[in-house]
Chains A and B, each alone.
Chain A
Amino acid sequence: MNVSGNSPARKLVYWGSHYLMIGAFVVFALFPLYWLLKVSVTPNDILYTEGVRMWPSRTTWENYFFVLTQSNFPHYFLNSVIVAGTTAIVTTMVAAVTGYSFSRFAFRGKMIIVALMLITQMFPLVMLIAPIFKILAPLGLTDSLTGLIIVYTAFNVPFATFLMQSFFDGIPKDLEEAAMIDGNTRFQAFRRIILPLTLPGVAATLGFVFTAAWSELLFALMLVSSESASTFPVGLLSFVSKFSVDFGQMMAAGVLALIPACAFFLLIQRYLVQGLTAGAVKG
């Protein structure tokens, strides 16, 4: 399709509006992040006095300094890394084998299992907090990172499974059959041939589950009461006190919380891009 026509003027208008729209979207999407950064470097004393300005007249690192040295934030961070990292890895491993079996095998009760997994996604989390608390409390899993990891894993496995299944569906069956004829057992074929080809899918699933667990607030708030087991979203709330909200420090903590997620996506983005465009072009 040649929308732009042949004249250079029309081409200019076409591409100009094209980039204008993309630009508008990017600004819209990134503006809250920019505001986060702006407030985090604004000194407390001019936060309310300067009015709405795109950049403060003075900037300071003291909010960061405070968050890193005077607050419990480094500890919350560590907790979040442990919880989100473990959840992402465990969920992805479970989802990989489950997704593979959904993709490749026909077995009795498969449709029932799929339906059950779908049903678990239909309930609002709020409804489930009380029963989950009741189940976890006698097991000593409330107020513990392990408890959070178990709950997050349970909630993310269904979606992650369907995600992984769709990636396996995109890999021809012939490949593992060839590997099995070449001398692999089915599991070896899965591990040596299929899994390496699903790396983009694995990366996408890891990323999805990691961010979900990283930013989860509701369960973290309800199941954990002590400081020592709090994750960072709960920690962020500690900047809200009865009489005031310490925006500067809160924003600084927010910026710091972005770092692991960004680093993680930077790490997997090579696979992620492959994964998101997989199947677009026949290989």
Chain B
Amino acid sequence: MASIEISNAVKSYGAVDVLHGIDLDIQDGEFIVLVGPSGCGKSTLLRMIAGLEDITSGAISIGGTVVNELQPKDRDIAMVFQSYALYPHMSVAENMSYALTLRKTAKEKIADAITNVAEILGLTALLERRPKALSGGQRQRVAMGRAIVRKPQAFLFDEPLSNLDARLREQMRTEIRKLHRRLGATSVYVTHDQIEAMTMADRIVAMHDGIIQQVGSPVEIYDRPANIFVASFIGSPAMNFLKGAYEIAQNDTTGIRLTDGSFVPVLPARGATANQTVTLGARPEHIALVPDGNGGIPARVELIEPMGLSTLVHVSLAGNPVKIFTLDRPDFAVDSFIHIAFDMEKVHVFDTQTELRLPPESEPHMARTA
């Protein structure tokens, strides 16, 4: 196993830069998830680590060796593809042993490795089958097996669960995590699914437009997003955003005056000046329904979405749609007015212009933002 260092990596197609100076250190044994919307460059970055895309400038090293000029076969990495990319004309066993055969590993050793990995992944009964005789989940396992058998320096995953149905995806998510704990292999996992990112990562790398937006643990990214993009991308249902002006009242309380005149108190934000245009960010679970209307802000109910465990109340506030998460089962009439209150400890203040988060003055300075 090895660490991966990416320094100032740039990728351009002609005049178009798709990755702008990526810096990222991946520790030995770490599980890193690259997450972002499609077109953000996460897959390109992964393919650059694999050697399937050239590096326009900058350097990528695996285990201390710069691999910029190395062919994929000489980088000692394994990759799991979204399409699984199993060789259709080979049996499961042949698929898994292909890399070892190419390395001229002794036959007995290969057989041992296959037996061992097949056992871990529950593939023992399927070894003689061709990929087309397997279900989606089984193919996924074979693709994993093919990677594991090699004992590579690092595992690369390119949206490996996207083709599975929801239940299987959930199951494989846990299995991959368990496997990672067992093998302790350095892993880089690309996904557009923020739930996968949250549940699997040691650290999440949130990317947008070829730039790393934030690197941090899932909880860090969720609780202290660096900017509006990260705040909106991570979390489901997504964060609510409301534009307003930052206000410092006479009694030193601070808050945001929304466009409809209502006032939302917030903790003093570092770097915010009076009357600055800011964006209030509030996750659905950080907005409370105020039953008696005492001190709440009035909002018009637009839709009630029962989710089983919880209910999502869609309201309109100052002309903006706002979603509220509640474990109660409210039965508001559509178009009726209710009162809501923002959790001042939990909501975020963003500079509307730079889109950066203005953290509360009480919060310690953050280590890593990009």
Complex contact B102–A184 (CB within 8 A): yes
Give Cα distance in the complex from A26 to B114, angstroms: 53
Say whether B22 faces chain A, with CB atoms less than 8 Å apart: no
Q: Which of the four size classes fits the interface of chain B?
A: 20 to 34
- Give the contact stretch, choosing among B60-68, B72-80, B349-357: B72-80
Report whether over half of chain A's contact residues are helix, strand or loop; otherwise say mixed: helix
Complex contact B85–A175 (CB within 8 A): yes
Give Cα distance in the complex from A184 to B146, angstroms: 15
Interface residues of B in 277-292 (CB under 8 A from A): none
Complex contact B87–A193 (CB within 8 A): yes
Q: Which of the four size classes fits the interface of chain A?
A: 10 to 19
Complex contact B73–A197 (CB within 8 A): no
Complex contact A197–B102 (CB within 8 A): no
Complex contact B73–A180 (CB within 8 A): yes
> Which residue of chain A lies nearest to B79 when distances are taken between CB atoms in the complex?
A181
Complex contact B102–A178 (CB within 8 A): no
> Which residue of chain B lies nearest to A186 when distances are taken between CB atoms in the complex?
B71
Report whether over half of chain B's contact residues are helix, strand or loop; otherwise say mixed: loop
Complex contact A177–B132 (CB within 8 A): no
Q: A183-B103, A197-B89 are in contact. Are A283 and B132 (CB under 8 A)?
A: yes
B267 vs chain A, min Cβ distance (A): 49
Neighbouring A residues of B73 by C-beta, 8 Å: 180-185
Neighbouring A residues of B146 by C-beta, 8 Å: 178, 182
Q: A180-B71, A183-B102 are in contact. Are A283 and B88 (CB under 8 A)?
A: yes
Neighbouring A residues of B150 by C-beta, 8 Å: 182
Say whether B8 faces chain A, with CB atoms less than 8 Å apart: no
Neighbouring A residues of B79 by C-beta, 8 Å: 177-178, 181
Say whether A172 faces chain B, with CB atoms less than 8 Å apart: yes
Say whether A217 faces chain B, with CB atoms less than 8 Å apart: no
Complex contact B81–A197 (CB within 8 A): no
Interface string of A193-209 (1 = CB under 8 A from B): 10011000000000000
Neighbouring A residues of B344 by C-beta, 8 Å: none
Neighbouring A residues of B83 by C-beta, 8 Å: 172, 174
Q: A184-B102, A196-B89 are in contact. Are A178 and B81 (CB under 8 A)?
A: yes
A131 vs chain B, min Cβ distance (A): 40
Complex contact A174–B89 (CB within 8 A): no
Q: A182-B98, A182-B102 are in contact. Are A177 and B85 (CB under 8 A)?
A: yes
Give Cα distance in the complex from A184 to B78, angstroms: 13
Give Cα distance in the complex from A178 to B85, angstroms: 6
> Which residue of chain B lies nearest to A199 when distances are taken between CB atoms in the complex?
B89
Neighbouring B residues of A181 by C-beta, 8 Å: 50-52, 72-73, 75, 77-79
| 9 A-B residue pairs with CB within 8 Å | A174-B85, A177-B72, A178-B146, A181-B52, A181-B73, A183-B73, A183-B98, A185-B73, A283-B132
* Nearest 3 A/B pairs, CB to CB: A174-B85, A183-B102, A182-B99
Additional pairs, 14, CB under 8 Å, beyond known A181-B77, A182-B73, A182-B150: A172-B85, A175-B87, A177-B81, A177-B85, A178-B81, A178-B146, A180-B51, A180-B73, A181-B50, A182-B98, A183-B102, A184-B102, A197-B88, A197-B89
Q: What is the interface of chain B, defined by CB distance below 8 A to chain A?
A: 50-52, 71-73, 75, 77-79, 81-83, 85-89, 98-99, 102-103, 132, 146, 150
